[in-house]
Amino acid sequence: MAGALILLASCKKTFTERGTLDGATLTNFYNNAEEVRSGTSTLYGLPWAGYENRAMDGIGDVMAGTEISGGSDDPPFSNFTMTSTSVRIADAWKSLYKINGWAGALIKAFEDKKAAGGGASYLDPALGECHFIKGTAFFYIGRAWGAAPIIEDPGAIALSGNLNIPRYYEKDVIRYALEELKKAEATLPETDPQPGRLTKYSAKAMMAKLYLYRKDYDSAKMKAGEVIAYANSTGKIALMADYASMFNTSATNNHIEALFSTQHPNTGNPWGSGNQLQPDRGPGNLQTSEANMWELYRPSLWILSQYESGDIRRKGSVMEHGWSKAEWKPKNANTVYNSFMANGYKYDTLQPTADGGQKNDVRANIAKYVVGPGASFGGEPVIGMNTGKNTSHLRYADVLLIYAEAVLAGGASTSDVAALAAFNKVRVRAGLPSKSSITANDIFHERIVEFAFEGDAWFDIKRQGYTNAKAIIATQNRGWIGNPVNAANNFTQANLYLPIPIGEVIQDPELAKPPVAYY
């Protein structure tokens, strides 16, 4: 496939990594839709691995207080002592700039191919995919680090030899991301015959999320409204009826609610890589000879306290005493364990742990992205750390809540009919009663429980501003049973943004200097 033709040239700066395209590629490849789409398929998988594998948990959820973690790499995110030497921060930085490099290389190749007479009918939609991926990567960079380098053409920078790239103001990074998403919106198709491919409404939805981040409520409302109108008129986008099924099986990959997911099929694997979230989240009593489980990340006591009575998202997100899955029948060398699990997997905090019980420090495990013990044990194929479950980065539920918040626009409350309709669709799907009026706290609460363990919670807290964020953190128990922990005293305004990895600063001293204007 075309991805094999894209060779990563490791430049001195990791954020200038680029794909090197030889003459044979442009002359003899990208001559039809199949070849072009095989090239863009690489953007949906492998380059995201460094971000998805632990960095997303550490930054998006441990930092938010929705997860707790052991080891040495993640606890600093819980108590706000992370530094520029953090492995997680370095992995996220490298991954997001690598994504930019791959997308930038393909953009250059496709534009050159068009100039040489290549067909716009298949090159323009592919360019839209690249611009979406690039825009999303820079949106993630801007909201995480604030001021950061903007790399328009990684290849040109590498060839120039001028690798001292400054930081640009956060507002410029976010503006650059928006411009890329606008290009995606302009060229992506309304629908695509291949499930999982980006569409025009993926771009509109991500734009709505970006507009909300920068508090451009009118634009966020407009873009989210366009997605909602399309969903209502066509039925091609909707909430999944079964919340849990979006996360506990790859059978629902590219479901009707998914607007952008990274692709992780176990077999054939045209996209790039397996999903490695399961081993870090799955309970130890579910480990088998096929499936690794070491529960590095667990739900925090705070997030467990946030679920309302009757909220079905709790069972879809968290395993607790009484949680079960009849079709999963794990086995090991312990006959008592095998007897205990004979009629299906049980999460039980009373049974001795050696005999199938599960009793960690919060008496709970994360259920999202845990797809089971493997094909030989009643589940789906699992290869050690790897599952075939896609990772959701943008769902229709997000669009609905974005619309409601954009209508509220920082006000005290709203009873706007359209805002309530959007908000209550998410509530009703969760098995909860509708509301007749909503506040900013209502929307924040809904977002926290809806997207728990999906890498977004920290950015929802951060969007509240430093004072409100600190107040939220002050309410959180970030410890475990018998050892409550409050991290509010450690939280400073500087913690709203991540430090740039020290390795990057050493290689590029410009990154240690104040940011400058890009525009």
Q: Return mean pLDDT, the chain.
A: 93
Q: What is the pLDDT of residues 261-283, one digit of tens each?
A: 999 976 544 444 789 999 999 99
Q: What pLDDT is attached to residue 157? A: 82
CA pair distance 85, 80, nearest whole angstrom? 14
Contact 147, 173 (CB under 8 A): yes
Q: Which residues of the chain have pLDDT under 70?
A: 1-25, 266-272
SS3 content of the chain, % helix, strand, coil (to 5): 50, 10, 40
Which residue, 39, 43, 468, 68, is CA-closest to 299? 68
Query: The whole model's pTM is what?
Result: 0.94
Q: What pLDDT is attached to residue 160? A: 81
Burial class of 61 by CB neighbour count within 10 A (0 to 12, 13 to 18, 19+):
buried
Dihedral sign for Cα atoms in the order 309, 463, 504, 272: positive
CA angle 383, 386, 389 (to 5 degrees): 115
Q: What is the pLDDT of residues 391-410, one digit of tens each?
A: 999 999 999 999 999 999 99
Q: What pLDDT is attached to residue 268? A: 46
- 206 Ramachandran zone, left/alpha/beta (phi>0; psi -120 to 50): alpha
CA pair distance 131, 43, nearest whole angstrom? 11
Strand partners, 392: 261
Contact 145, 498 (CB under 8 A): yes
Which residue, 96, 91, 85, is CA-closest to 54? 91
Tokens 């997308």: give the residue: 103
How far is C-alpha 358 from the chain's CA centre? 28
3-state SS of 145-188?
HCCECCCCCHHHHHHHCCCCCCCECHHHHHHHHHHHHHHHHHHC
CA pair distance 67, 149, nearest whole angstrom? 30
Instruction: Tell me the DSSP string of 366-390.
Output: E-TT---S-GGGTS---BBTBB-PP
CA pair distance 108, 222, nearest whole angstrom? 31
CA pair distance 341, 239, nearest whole angstrom? 33
Q: Which distant-in-sequence residues (6+ apart) come within 8 Å of 23 by Cβ? A: none
CA pair distance 400, 426, nearest whole angstrom? 8
